[in-house]
């Protein structure tokens, strides 16, 4: 075990190599390019700079089917381009890791500023129903650890797993310990060993069945059950109890680092596995009168939490990539007074 | 019965008959691909078929090989990923003109530039057949389709220039020139590097019908009349077929 | 009349009666009758129909006693 000063993006790249990465395809984008930069210098893996993000995800999809542990890294605009193929990979059950270092959007937005605007896109971005596993760490050490988890979850669930980060955590330098976490091995037999057909069409026994609703229902049920089963292994969240407070502050990613300064006054809950939502939150939320979700978007996770808890959830929205503790305090005070 | 169609070993025979329309050229190209593979004695294990979306995109599912049916237009990057991850594999792509030149045009440009060792067989029927017969990137000028009722006004894509411009293998043939088409695929499979075979194929249901052909035989004969084999050239004219290495 | 040299096997499960073989046969050996392909026993084993059948439904076997080219 060695200690190293690493940047967030660098940590993802190095952890990926240790987690068994064989193939990386990507397209330059701020603020995720450093992952590509780091990986081209690694001799053990194949790196391809593609013509766009669509080609990138499709190349890793092919490589993964051919037996290579594969990953791509991008930011919001590229992630939008990848959506079709993410759905496709869920349908074909291909293990992939997709890193999304978020920046301010929509569209080109503010490329060098962090945001958390892709939360719902992770879950609902592609058409049709699918049940992705999404991790969102908030420190360099956690990015390192959850890169392993993302690879393992992908192999176990045979699905694309999304590792969220943001421009702030991605560019943050911290000293971390390079731990060798356990690695899940590949179970899917590589291409060229059998006569399977991988298709995005609704299928049964790898053969397309495009006119039987029962087959489709069975397939989607299978996908859901599989994701639920695997995600149980990764019930990752952080909970800082505060018995003197009756407000639970739910926050994650870069913004949650600012929230640590508020732990004297509020209880803090930080999901790391964003989707499927960790059920523990139901139990924790019962202890508090008020639930406040604080995030760097217009309330994406707040809506999901509200839907899960069936009760009112207040929102503190910190937009535009600027994290200011004074602003957070002012907004929290207003909520405190309001009740 | 003493004789058997030995090339059928490359197909999942229980999946036949295929679901294409009567007289569709895709079946002929499927056969051509199998015959070329048989001639080269390709092992079934170790060969991967990739296809895109569309009528021709369904062809991968018929092969008794590991096959991937990709998203629309994305056959090439998937094939590149497969080949680069495991260079032992023979990777073939069968897809249509709309898939490869239209939605996947950018990937064609870059796959040929990277010269990845894959073989692409393009079933070029100059129409979007599966969606009902809309104008495609290879539809000839003044040709009538569902979306060009007064005749197409756009120039068809010049794939030959794109592929040969990157010094890759390019061959053009038609479903009528059966033996020539097989030779094209045969040589393309042996070529190290990116190889592209464009096979003009007939779609009677959604294309020929609108252009006044009575049946797919007439379309086959139109290829006989319109295309001449040219073996000694570096640039095929629009009415010539041949191989450019 | 051309001498009979080939035996035609029609796989009716695969045949979609597209009619390419009917038109391409040089000796008019095929007929479509009530939406079913019929063979009239005039095959000269030129193999055109086997080649161009998009449904792989035709097999032409050359008779053993006559060594005829199959191309």
In A, which residues are within 8 Å of B77 by CB distance? 25, 50, 54-56, 58-59, 62
Q: Which CATH number do you get for residue C16?
A: 3.30.70.20
Domain count, chain C: 1
Quick check: helix, strand or coil at residue A63?
Answer: helix
pLDDT of B161 above 80: yes
Tell me the residues of chain B between 120 and 179 that have a Cβ less than 8 Å away from chain C.
175, 178
Residue C29 belongs to some domain of the structure: yes
Name the residue of chain A whose CA is nearest to B92's CA: A192
The answer to whether B71 faces chain A, any CB pair under 8 Å, is yes
Q: Which domain holds residue B133?
A: 20-244
| DSSP code at position B191 | S
Residue C67 belongs to some domain of the structure: no
- CA A15 vs. chain centroid, Å, equals 16
Quick check: helix, strand or coil at residue A201?
Answer: coil
CB contact under 8 A, B23 and C56: no
For A140, A248, A257, A313, B59, the CA distances from A294, given in Å and listed in that order, are 21, 10, 12, 10, 50
The answer to whether A93 faces chain B, any CB pair under 8 Å, is no
Homologous superfamily (CATH) of A3-234 is Thiamin diphosphate (ThDP)-binding fold, Pyr/PP domains (3.40.50.970)
Distance from CA of A136 to the nearest CA of B (A): 27
Name the residue of chain C whose CA is nearest to B204's CA: C18
Query: Per-residue confidence at B4, pLDDT binned at 50, 70, 90?
Result: confident
Across the A/B interface, how many CB contacts are shorter than 8 Å?
131
Residue C4 has what pLDDT?
58
Domain ranges of chain A: 3-234, 238-338
CB contact under 8 A, A191 and B80: no
Fold: same for A3-234 and A238-338? yes
Distance from CA of C57 to the nearest CA of B (A): 9
CB contact under 8 A, C61 and B22: no
Report pTM: 0.94
Chains that touch C (3 or more CB pairs under 8 A): B
Q: Which CATH number do you get for residue B227?
A: 3.40.50.970
Residue C71 belongs to some domain of the structure: no
Rounded Cα–Cα distance for residues A277 and A271 (Å): 8
The architecture of the domain spanning A238-338 is: 3-Layer(aba) Sandwich (3.40)
Residue B62 belongs to some domain of the structure: yes
Domain count, chain B: 1
In A, which residues are within 8 Å of B69 by CB distance? 197-201, 208
Residue A260 has what pLDDT?
95
Distance from CA of B42 to the nearest CA of C (A): 20
pLDDT tens, residue order, chain A (339 aa)? 789 999 999 999 999 999 999 999 999 999 999 999 999 999 999 999 999 999 999 999 999 999 999 999 999 999 999 999 999 999 999 999 999 999 999 999 999 999 999 999 999 999 999 999 999 999 999 999 999 999 999 999 999 999 999 999 999 999 999 999 999 999 999 999 999 999 999 999 989 999 999 999 999 999 999 999 999 999 999 999 999 999 999 999 999 999 999 999 999 999 999 999 999 999 999 999 999 999 999 999 999 999 999 999 999 999 999 999 999 999 999 998 875
CB contact under 8 A, C53 and B2: no
Decide: B161 and B109 in contact? Cβ < 8 Å.
no
CB contact under 8 A, C54 and B4: no
Q: Which domain holds residue C14?
A: 6-62
Residue C54 belongs to some domain of the structure: yes
For tokens 């993964």, what's the residue? A64
Hey, what are A54's tokens?
Answer: 């669509």
In A, which residues are within 8 Å of B80 by CB distance? 48, 59, 62
CB proximity list for A32: less than 8 A, separation 6 or greater: A9, A26, A73, A74, A75, A78, A99, A100, A101, A170
Residue C70 belongs to some domain of the structure: no
Residue C5 has what pLDDT?
84
More confident residue, A250 or C4: A250
CB contact under 8 A, B16 and C55: yes
Tell me which residue of A99, A94, A50 sits closest to A71, measured CA to CA.
A99
């Amino acid at each position: 075990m060695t200690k190293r000063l690493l940047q967030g993006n660098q940590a993802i790249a190095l952890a990926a190599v240790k987690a068994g990465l064989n193939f990386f395809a990507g397209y330059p984008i701020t603020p995720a390019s450093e992952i590509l930069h780091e990986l081209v210098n690694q001799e053990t893996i194949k790196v391809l700079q593609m013509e766009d993000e669509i080609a990138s995800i499709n190349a890793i999809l092919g490589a993964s089917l051919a037996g290579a542990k594969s990953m791509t890294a991008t930011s919001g605009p590229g992630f939008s381009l990848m959506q079709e193929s993410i759905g496709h990979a869920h349908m074909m059950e291909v293990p992939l890791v997709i890193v999304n270092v978020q920046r301010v959007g929509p569209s080109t937005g503010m490329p060098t500023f962090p945001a958390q605007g892709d939360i719902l896109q992770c879950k609902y971005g592609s058409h049709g129903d699918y049940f992705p596993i999404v991790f969102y760490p908030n420190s360099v050490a956690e990015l390192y650890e959850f890169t392993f988890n993302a690879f393992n979850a992908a192999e176990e669930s045979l699905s694309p797993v999304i590792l969220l980060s943001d421009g702030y955590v991605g560019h943050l330098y911290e000293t971390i310990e390079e731990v060798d976490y356990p690695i899940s091995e590949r179970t899917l037999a590589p291409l060229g060993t059998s006569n399977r057909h991988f298709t995005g069409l609704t299928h049964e026994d790898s053969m397309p069945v495009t006119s039987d609703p029962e087959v489709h229902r069975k397939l989607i049920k299978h996908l859901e059950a599989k994701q639920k089963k695997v995600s149980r292994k990764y019930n990752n969240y952080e909970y800082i109890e505060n018995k003197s407070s009756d407000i639970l502050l739910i926050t994650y990613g870069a913004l949650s680092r600012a929230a640590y300064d508020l732990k004297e006054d509020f209880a803090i809950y930080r999901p790391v596995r964003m989707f499927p939502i960790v059920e523990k939150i139901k139990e924790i939320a019962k202890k508090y009168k008020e639930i406040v979700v604080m995030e760097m978007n217009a309330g994406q996770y707040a809506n999901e939490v509200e839907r899960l808890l069936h009760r009112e959830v207040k929102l503190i929205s910190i937009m535009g990539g600027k994290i200011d503790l004074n602003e957070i305090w002012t907004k929290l005070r207003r909520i405190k007074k309001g009740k | 019965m003493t004789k058997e169609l030995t090339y059928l070993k490359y197909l999942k025979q229980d999946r036949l008959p295929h679901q294409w329309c009567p007289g569709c050229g895709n079946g002929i190209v499927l056969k051509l691909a199998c015959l070329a593979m048989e001639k080269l004695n390709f092992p079934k294990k170790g060969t991967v078929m990739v296809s895109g979306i569309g009528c021709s995109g369904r062809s991968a599912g018929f092969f008794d090989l590991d096959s991937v049916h990709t998203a629309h237009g994305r056959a090439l990057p998937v094939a590149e990923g497969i080949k680069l991850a495991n260079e032992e594999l023979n990777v073939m792509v069968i897809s249509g003109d709309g898939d490869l030149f239209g939605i996947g045009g950018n990937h064609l440009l870059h796959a040929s530039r990277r010269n990845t060792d894959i073989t692409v067989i393009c079933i070029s029927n100059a129409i979007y057949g599966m969606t009902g017969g809309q104008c495609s990137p290879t539809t000839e000028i003044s040709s009538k389709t569902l979306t060009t009722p007064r005749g197409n006004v756009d120039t068809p894509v010049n794939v030959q220039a794109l592929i040969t411009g990157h010094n890759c293998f390019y061959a053009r043939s038609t479903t009528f020139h059966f033996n020539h088409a097989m030779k094209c695929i045969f040589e393309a499979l042996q070529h190290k590097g990116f190889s592209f075979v464009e096979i003009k194929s007939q779609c009677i249901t959604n294309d020929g019908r609108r252009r006044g052909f009575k049946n797919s035989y007439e379309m086959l004969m139109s290829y006989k009349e319109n295309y001449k084999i040219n073996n000694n050239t570096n640039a095929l004219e629009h009415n010539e077929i041949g191989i450019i290495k | 009349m051309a001498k009979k040299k080939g035996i035609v096997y029609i796989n009716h499960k695969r045949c979609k009666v597209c009619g390419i073989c009917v038109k391409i046969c040089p000796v008019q050996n095929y007929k479509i009758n009530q939406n079913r392909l019929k063979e009239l026993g005039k095959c000269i084993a030129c193999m055109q129909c086997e080649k161009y059948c998009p449904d792989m439904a035709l097999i032409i076997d050359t008779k053993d006693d006559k060594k005829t080219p199959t191309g």
